Amino acid sequence: MIEQKGFTLWMTGLSGAGKTTIARIIEDELKARGLRIERLDGDVVRQSLTRDLGFTKEDRDKNIERVTFVAKLLSRNDVGVIACFISPYQSVRDMVRAETTNFIEVFVDAPLDTCIERDVKGMYAKAMAGEIANFTGISDPYEPPDNPEITVHTDQETPEESAASIIRYLEEQGFIPVEVGTAAVG
């Protein structure tokens, strides 16, 4: 079995910033290396584990609390967790940090204007038209990380470059073995 440590790679950022896009690249690359990886994604989790919850502050907190429980169990059993959640509140992200093993806060940073231009799911248009309440960045706050381990600027680099810098960090920290002689992504 390949030596790896459990970790919780926590991707936070606005909707459309690129969390899922980058996480998928990392997931594919690390699985191809034979590592144990589980990706927890807000959009998926909200259709299953937390489908009873909405987007009020209270429900957002519950959403992250439940996900944290899962990330805690996985990461302490040597699985690498890649979590993609807007998770707009610093205090909540600090709670995740305290609960999970080898927590790495990744700020997936794109200017709000860029996210609005991308409008991947057409949600910003709806939020700006007042059709969706509590939409992060429009009618709900987003607190950028105070002190993230990693920041990727998705308006200035490709998803592959962002993924490569995150994988490099995991290698440097000794959470995953160093892949000699490959710049597999980016």
Interface size with ligand ADP, residues (CB under 6 A): 18
First to last CA, the chain: 27
167 CA to centre of own chain: 14
Among 154, 167, 175, 185, binds ligand ADP (CB under 6 A): 154
Q: Which of residues 44-103 bind ligand ADP (CB under 6 A)?
A: 84
Q: Which residues contact 144 (CB under 8 A, 6 or more apart)?
A: 107, 109
According to DSSP, the residues that pair with 84 across neighbouring strands are: 11, 41
**Between 83 and 170, whose beta carbon lies closer to ligand ADP?**
83
Cα torsion at 32, 71, 175, 4 (round to 10°)? -60
Contact between 125 and ligand ADP (CB under 6 A)? Answer: no
Q: 9 to 38, contacts with ligand ADP by CB under 6 A?
A: 13, 15-22
From the list 87, 91, 139, 162, the catalytic residue is 87
What residue ranges bind ligand ADP (CB under 6 A)?
A: 13, 15-22, 84, 108, 118, 120, 154, 157-159, 162
**Catalytic residue positions, numbered:** 87
